[in-house]
Amino acid sequence: MTTVQMRRRRPRSRATVTSVLGEILLTLGAVVLLYVAWQLWIGDVIYSAQHNAQAAAQSREWASAAPAAPAPEPTVDPVEGTPEYEPVILPQPADQELFAIMRVPRWGDDYAVNIAGGVTRSGTLDSIGIGHYLDTEMPGEVGNFGLAAHRTTFGKPFSDLQSLRIGDPIVIETEDGWYTYRFRTLEYVEPSAYDALADVPRSPDVPAGERYITLTTCSPRYAMTERLVGYGVFESYLPRATGEQPAALSEELI
C-alpha cells in the first residue's frame, strides 16, 4: 500500500438540517425581496401605465359617441361674463361600475384614471384605480363627492396627493361632460375621521350649500395609521356636446 493510499480519506461533507434550512431561508428571502420590488416599483409602473391607457381608451369612446342631445343654453356669469352650465347629476353607480375619469394636470398631462363605484380593495382600488364612496354625492351635486385610491402599489393613483397646490384643477370627465373642481386644502386625520366625507367636510351638522370633492388615501406611505385627505370646491361644468374641453386642462400651473 502506497503512502497516498495510507492517508486517511477525508469524509464527504453531508448536508445538515441547519444548512438545508439556511438555504431555504435564503431562497425565501430572495423571493420576498423580488415580490416587494415588484409591488413597490416594477408593478406600480405597469399598473400606472395600464390605468392611463384604459382611461384614455374610455375617453376616446365617449368622445366618438354622438351626443344624446345638443348642448343646453348657458347662463352668463354677471362678473366674469363667461358661460355657465348647470351640471348633469349622474345616478349613483353600482359597485365596480365605471362612470368617470379623473384628470389632474399637476400630476402630468397623461394622468387619467378611471373612477368606479365602491372603495373595496379587491373590487375597485386594486383593479380599476379610484373608488367612489357610495354614500357620498356624485360629481357636480351639492354636497361632497368622496373618492379613495392607493398611495402606494397598484399604480398608486393618489401617490402625489400632497403635491397639490391651492387652486390646482381637478377635472372629472364623464360621458356627459366635464366637472372642474379647485383644490383648497390638505390634512392628516385618524382613520376613524368619517366626518371628512360629510356633506360639508368635517362639519357634519352644517347643511350643505356648496359642491365639494374629497380625496382620501393612506398615510404615511406603506402604512395605514393615518389618512391623507385633500379637499376641493366645484368651479364649473362643461357639457361634452359643446365639443370643447375645459380650459383648466391646458392652463399654466404656478
- Supply the CATH number for residue 202's domain: 2.40.260.10
pLDDT higher at 21 or 198: 198
Give residue 36's pLDDT band: very low, low, confident or very high (50, 70, 90).
Answer: low
pLDDT at 4 over 50: no
In terms of average pLDDT, the best of 12-26, 55-69, 196-210 is 196-210
Locate the DSSP E strands across the chain: 75-76, 83-84, 98-103, 113-117, 130-132, 143-149, 169-173, 177-189, 211-219, 226-239
Is pTM beyond 0.85 here? no
- CA–CA gap between residue 178 and residue 158 (Å, rounded): 20
pLDDT at 235 over 50: yes
Q: Is residue 10 part of a domain?
A: no
In terms of average pLDDT, the best of 19-23, 27-31, 189-193 is 189-193
Q: Is residue 4 part of a domain?
A: no
pLDDT at 215 over 50: yes
pLDDT higher at 80 or 248: 248
Look at residue 148 in the predicted model and tell me its pLDDT. 98
How many domains is the chain partitioned into structurally? 1
Q: Is residue 5 part of a domain?
A: no
Lowest mean pLDDT among 108-117, 132-141, 164-173, 214-223: 214-223
Share of residues in the chain with pLDDT > 90 (%): 68
Q: Is residue 171 part of a domain?
A: yes
| Assigned C-alpha cell, 6 | 495510507
Q: How many CB atoms lie within 10 A of CB 98?
A: 16
Give residue 21's pLDDT band: very low, low, confident or very high (50, 70, 90).
Answer: low
Q: Is residue 210 part of a domain?
A: yes
Those residues whose C-beta lies under 8 Å from the C-beta of residue 42, and which sit 6 or more positions away, are: none
- The SS3 assignment for 80 reads coil
- The answer to whether 139 and 126 are in contact (CB under 8 A) is no
Give residue-wise pLDDT tens across range 102-140. Answer: 999 999 999 999 999 999 999 999 999 999 999 999 999
Look at residue 6 in the predicted model and tell me its pLDDT. 45
Q: Is residue 30 part of a domain?
A: no
Residue 161 structural domain: 42-249
Look at residue 41 in the predicted model and tell me its pLDDT. 54
Look at residue 229 in the predicted model and tell me its pLDDT. 98
- CA–CA gap between residue 185 and residue 230 (Å, rounded): 6
- The answer to whether 178 and 237 are in contact (CB under 8 A) is yes
Lowest mean pLDDT among 60-74, 144-158, 174-188, 215-229: 60-74
Q: Is residue 17 part of a domain?
A: no
Look at residue 193 in the predicted model and tell me its pLDDT. 95
Q: Is residue 1 part of a domain?
A: no
Q: What integer best gives the mean pLDDT of the chain? A: 87
